[in-house]
Amino acid sequence: MPEQKRTAPHPEWVQMYRQGLTTTQIAATAGAAQSTVRYHLAIAAATEPSLRDDHRNAARPTPSTRVTAEGLQNLNDTIALYKAEGRLPSSKSPSARERALATWLLRRRQDHDHGTLSATYSDGLQEIPGWELRTRTSKDEARWHQRLQELTGYMAAGKDWPRHKRTDTEKERLLGMWLHIQRMKCRRNELDQDKETQLNTLLPGWPDGRTRGRPPGSPNIRRGWS
């Protein structure tokens, strides 16, 4: 059966070309001769001088976010904060550094939405499930209370205050890092008052930590446990 005659210019071919497809790709998709496609596009270009510019702009790859040393440090600090506290940086934090991280992450979300996020940042942020989502406040609060409960149980078992360096287990490192961050916030007067009250009530002596001279793993005399 002879090929059905098409009215030139074929609107679908023009649209495909405008979106960045080549004449070869259009011909293969439509099952038509490449010369026929070119004929139709030439007629379209005669009436739409901007068609070829639209095609070139659409075909040009979108530039990805530039990766910088500062950006890599922000990436590492954001991941470290998440691993320690199970949350992302807050734009309302009293800490200027944390607010800067929140701004950086907001821009990476925008890059993600626009399809311009670099592979380096994208791969790194995969360590934080759902990082591209906007609403995390309730989850952050729930994770904070979960860490407090875990640490309370850890200490109630007669263990010493967990360390965040040179730890024996991953659980100790995780709880130690979380506790270390709470202590730093407390010393900088950045810890929420309600959270500080809960720590004082459930874990007396938490700002001070281990007693000097007592070897790791020895009875927690300060806490009154043997």
Q: Closest Cα to residue 119, out of 77, 61, 80? A: 61
Q: SS3 of 61, please?
A: coil
* Amino acid at residue number 217: G
Could you read off the pLDDT of 131-188 as tens digits, one per residue?
A: 887 655 556 777 888 899 999 999 999 899 999 888 889 899 999 999 999 999 899 8
**What's residue 182's pLDDT?**
93
Q: What is the mean pLDDT of residues 183-202?
A: 89
Could you read off the pLDDT of 22-72 as tens digits, one per residue?
A: 888 888 877 888 888 888 989 888 888 888 888 887 766 556 678 999 999
Contact between 83 and 174 under an 8 Å Cβ cutoff? The reply is yes
Tell me: pLDDT of 1 over 50.
no
Contact between 21 and 60 under an 8 Å Cβ cutoff? The reply is no
- Residue 188 CB-density burial (10 A; 0-12 exposed, 13-18 middle, 19+ buried): exposed
Distance CA 193, CA 181 (A): 15
Contact between 18 and 54 under an 8 Å Cβ cutoff? The reply is yes
pTM: 0.41
**What's residue 51's pLDDT?**
86
